Amino acid sequence: MDKLSVLKEYFGHKEFRKGQSDLIDHILSRSDVLGIMPTGAGKSLCYQVPAIMLEGSTIVISPLISLMKDQVSALISAGVSAACINSSLNQEEYSETMYRACRGEYKLIYVAPERLCTQEIKRLTSSVRISMVTIDEAHCVSQWGQDFRPSYLHIAEFIESLPHRPIISAFTATATDTVKEDIIRLLGLNEPFSLTTGFDRPNLYFSVVTPQNKYTELRKQLDSLGDKCGIIYCLSRKNVEEVCEKLNSDGFSATRYHAGLSDNERRTNQEDFIYDRKRIMVATNAFGMGIDKSDVAFVIHYNMPKNIESYYQEAGRAGRDGSPAQCILLYGAADVRTNNFMIEKSREENTELSEEEKDIMLERDKERLKEMTFYSTTTGCLREYMLRYFGEKAPTYCGNCSNCVNGFEEVDITIDAQKIVSCVFRIKQKGSYFGKSMVVDILRGSENAKLISLGFDKLSTYRIMNDTSPRRIRYEIDYLISGGYLTYNDGEYPVVELTPLSAKILKERISVSMNLPKEKTQLGKKRADEEFYSDSPLFAELRKLRSKLASEAKVPAYIIFSDAALRDMCRIQPTNQTDFLTVSGVGKRKAEQFGEQFCDLIREHIKNYPDEEKAPEGKVSSLQKQLDSLREMTATGKRSHSSKSWTDEEDRQLSKEFAQGITVAEIARIHKRTGSAIRSRLKKMGIIG
């Protein structure tokens, strides 16, 4: 059986994604490989397909129990023999699994790195031929990575102890050049074929919001997302508790996850989220690595993470099935101080490193925090900023992030820059530097007690920007820092300081301009095919059937089929086994298990709704072009032609709502009209075909 046959029969796909085929070919030619692929790009298939084809068993080293269980459940559902060996098994399950593993009954065996040196694993590796060892989340081996795990350092020793050297394949979602070199060296990869597929996830919409009140903004965002499921990340356990409690009080279906909870509660809460009993997971970064829930429609960061690697990996847990998803960061200046504190604290707690290594890590962590802060305050394309950070060239306009959609306008801030730098200079003349808040307070003429006691109300710069909002002054300070005209010393007491370039502002009086955000329209990006099919009655019926089957099998709904597969069923509307096999995500085993039930439902639906509109070939791409056109027109201040039966204001509102990704059903409720009336209006406006 060749690789394409394996892909279709077990995983239900007709073709490989970018990079998958190359990595599989090199594994099958017995070459070590290193695959760097963003979350949701299909890393697991790169080792699962060859593991099925190779003789013997593949050991997959994975850091978290939840990741192992998800992967094994999905493989068994697809008809692949697989098992995991971890602490979640009781003694009877453990003995049975080890017995079958030693008999060579499993193609893939998932093992936690801590168990590699146990006698049971040694007995296993001496009983069966290990054809490949796969290291998932390989960045955990590097002290310079964002999730260093000391247990990963023993993997190379384990591989050397095997009777025959297997193929070694390593995979991670994010890795800088330094981390990549560490992975190759510390895991003992032998002249590996290394492939970075590119970090871009086109289906993800990135946005940064700097709200006055974070919880109010969170509520606003969640209200706009409807009944979709998602994750809210917080920096601290305290924040997790507060946010989760408020959301539940406000009627949201939310649960929590952090290291301070008991093992039992963490497991229960995670299962509530995975099995759709709870719609929202509020968590610290302890939650998520390896979570393979494909229908996560949004990830909101309530606080800014400490580095771009962590942010991109966490945000990437949205839209894993390729569906459009939102990645929203709620930025606040206090997040920088909190992260600095946590970085300093982790330095002292890391007892396995020398003082010199601790200092190097501290410096790198602080540098990464600066990059994350610059991302949160940039006026340029968010996607371009992230891709550039990972070493990729990208267009300066992506059309799918808040900065590109909402737009910025270039503003001359020369006078403001002179006032701000002068204020920092006057503060310095008093004997010391202070933070951004004090600079803003002086410029706006605050009367807080500390400012007055220090005599800053006597400075010549006191109140000279009292008619400028604090937010704009902060934007301008951040811009001057990013341009090197000021610097931000983020030590124990973060302060704004002068630099050699400061003189260019004060003495040479150079002109300074920057991009400032226009009034936000909050246009979202949503593919038209998802809008068309997700709004159909058939999609709702398919989801109900999927939930019923998942409940009976005691597995998460996405293990049966992803939302993307259900939408493909709506598009194809298969009524027999042959057609059902053409659905993306339907393999031979799943067709045998579920094909009859889904085809019966579809036949019944067609019988009950013979006149229901079905998008013809080409319509979906046409819808997408028209939606993109609408977004472009909105960004440039134009609008669609209005109809005589609707007011201009109603047309504008309808266009905006549709572009935001609000479903037709929801729009119909807002305007108190029927769904057919909304569709008819959208057609007349040229928004859909």
* pLDDT tens, residue by residue, 234-287: 999 999 999 999 999 999 999 999 989 998 898 899 889 988 899 999 999 878
Residue 222, classified by CB atoms within 10 Å of its CB into exposed (0-12), middle (13-18) or buried (19+), is buried
Residue 319 pLDDT > 60: yes
Question: Is residue 646 left, alpha or beta, with left meaning phi > 0 and alpha meaning psi from -120 to 50?
Answer: beta
Q: Which CATH topology does 204-406 take?
A: Rossmann fold (3.40.50)
| CA–CA separation, 183 and 140 (whole Å) | 9
How far, rounded to the nearest angstrom, does the alpha carbon of residue 277 sit from its chain's CA centroid? 22
151-155 own/partner pairs: CB under 8 Å, 24+ apart: 151/112, 151/113, 151/114, 152/61, 152/63, 152/113, 152/186, 153/186, 154/113, 154/116, 154/117, 155/61, 155/113, 155/116, 155/186, 155/187
Residue 54 pLDDT > 70: yes
Residue 652 pLDDT > 80: no
From start to end of 495-633, where are the E strands? 495-498, 513-517
673-679 own/partner pairs: CB under 8 Å, 24+ apart: 675/535, 678/654
Positions of CATH 3.40.50.300 in the chain: 3-196, 204-406
pLDDT in tens, 137-195: 898 888 776 677 888 999 999 999 999 999 999 999 877 788 889 999 999 999 999 99
Tokens 């201009």 belong to residue: 648
* Residue scoring higher pLDDT (672 or 402): 402
Question: Which CATH number does the domain 528-608 belong to among 1.10.150.80, 1.10.645.10, 1.10.10.10, 3.40.190.10?
Answer: 1.10.150.80
Percent of the chain with pLDDT over 90: 37
| CA–CA separation, 134 and 294 (whole Å) | 22
* CA 148 to each of CA 97, 295, 598: distance values in angstroms, whole numbers, following the listed order: 29, 28, 44
CA nearest 8: which of 592, 571, 581, 594?
Answer: 581
pLDDT confidence of residue 157: 92
pLDDT confidence of residue 520: 45
Q: Which CATH topology does 3-196 take?
A: Rossmann fold (3.40.50)
Spatial contact of 482 and 465, defined as CB atoms under 8 Å apart: no
DSSP-assigned letters across all residues of 100-168: HHHTT--SEEEE-GGGTTSHHHHHHHHHS-EEEEEESSGGGG-TTSTT--GGGGGHHHHHHTSSS--EE
Spatial contact of 256 and 283, defined as CB atoms under 8 Å apart: yes
Averaged pLDDT of the chain: 83
Spatial contact of 313 and 41, defined as CB atoms under 8 Å apart: no
Positions of CATH 1.10.10.10 in the chain: 410-517
pLDDT in tens, 566-588: 888 888 888 898 889 888 888 88
pLDDT confidence of residue 160: 93
pLDDT in tens, 589-624: 898 999 999 999 988 888 877 655 554 444 444 434
Spatial contact of 280 and 232, defined as CB atoms under 8 Å apart: yes
* Average pLDDT of the residues in 534-543: 78
* Average pLDDT of the residues in 438-463: 92
pLDDT confidence of residue 675: 61
pLDDT in tens, 356-395: 877 888 888 888 899 999 999 888 899 999 998 888 888 8
pLDDT in tens, 388-406: 888 888 888 888 898 887 7
pTM to 2 decimals? Answer: 0.62
| CA–CA separation, 72 and 250 (whole Å) | 37
What single-letter amino acid sits at 356?
E
pLDDT confidence of residue 108: 95
pLDDT confidence of residue 627: 39
Residue 653 pLDDT > 80: no
Q: What are phi and psi of 478, to 5 degrees?
A: -60, -40
Q: Which CATH topology does 410-517 take?
A: Arc Repressor Mutant, subunit A (1.10.10)
Tokens of 667: 């729009």
| CA–CA separation, 662 and 653 (whole Å) | 12
Positions of CATH 1.10.150.80 in the chain: 528-608
CA nearest 624: which of 525, 541, 516?
Answer: 525
pLDDT confidence of residue 621: 42
Tokens of 689: 């075909």
* Average pLDDT of the residues in 120-125: 90
* Residue scoring higher pLDDT (490 or 108): 108
| Number of H-type helices and E-type strands within the chain | 31, 17
Q: How confident is the model at residue 671 (pLDDT cuts 50, 70, 90)?
A: low
Spatial contact of 218 and 239, defined as CB atoms under 8 Å apart: no
